[in-house]
Amino acid sequence: MTVKLQKRLINVDEYHLMGEVGILKEKGIELIEGEIIKMSPTGSNHSACVSVLIDLLTEARLLSKLKKDIIIRVQDPIMLDDFSEPEPDIVIVKYLSDYYRQKLPQSKDVLLLIEVSDSTLGTDREIKAPLYAKASVPEYWIVNIEAQQIEVYYAPASGAYQQKKVFGINDELKAQFNTQISVKLKEVFG
């Protein structure tokens, strides 16, 4: 007789408690569907791309009428459900006057989520995309550094994104939630 091993998944409250009591001292981990996942280290190209995107998105926000409608967060956690608390590279959330001091942003607060991929492309497509779609994140960008493309996923339904567009180096990408938020890919990939 074969006995199947049972996994014991961790919920968000337990994850936070483990951090508070010092069990999780390690940086660079995420809670994904109840499992603690070690994130890949970020290299200089990844970090530079995140910085450029932050500059471009912040500039677009300041030039738009969205100054007090959105908050741009960088590599901060969001709570998707009771078992997932990823730390995306960039997330644009609805404005909240306390800047989410009392509680983390939840999936209902997310307007746009961005992952920058150099060594994590497979994970960002195969694990993160379904995770974000299941949580009804309305728009998800994967910045593919190697191909110099941005994959845009939107229209989540039944745990999958129903639509995908790919933008190349000569394109300008406008956010689905507000077209005033846009980036030129030549500037992103320098």
CATH number assigned to the domain comprising residue 138: 3.90.1570.10
The verdict on residue 145 lying in a domain is yes
The verdict on residue 16 lying in a domain is no
pLDDT for 136? 98
pLDDT at residue 1 greater than cutoff 80: no
The verdict on residue 114 lying in a domain is yes
The verdict on residue 181 lying in a domain is yes
Tally of domains in the chain: 1
Indicate the pLDDT class of residue 142, thresholds 50, 70 and 90: very high
The verdict on residue 4 lying in a domain is no
The HSE-up count of residue 115 (CA atoms within 13 Å, CB side) is: 28
Phi and psi, residue 108, nearest 5° = -65, -15
pLDDT for 64? 78
The verdict on residue 49 lying in a domain is yes
Give me the mean pLDDT over the 78-93 stretch: 97
Structural domain including 130 reads 41-189
What is the helix (H) or strand (E) element at residue 116, kind and residue range?
strand 110-117
Distance separating alpha carbons of residues 155 and 137, to the nearest angstrom: 9
pTM for the full predicted model: 0.92
Contact (CB, 8 A) for 180 and 172: no
The verdict on residue 73 lying in a domain is yes
The verdict on residue 24 lying in a domain is no
| Averaged pLDDT score across all residues of the chain | 93
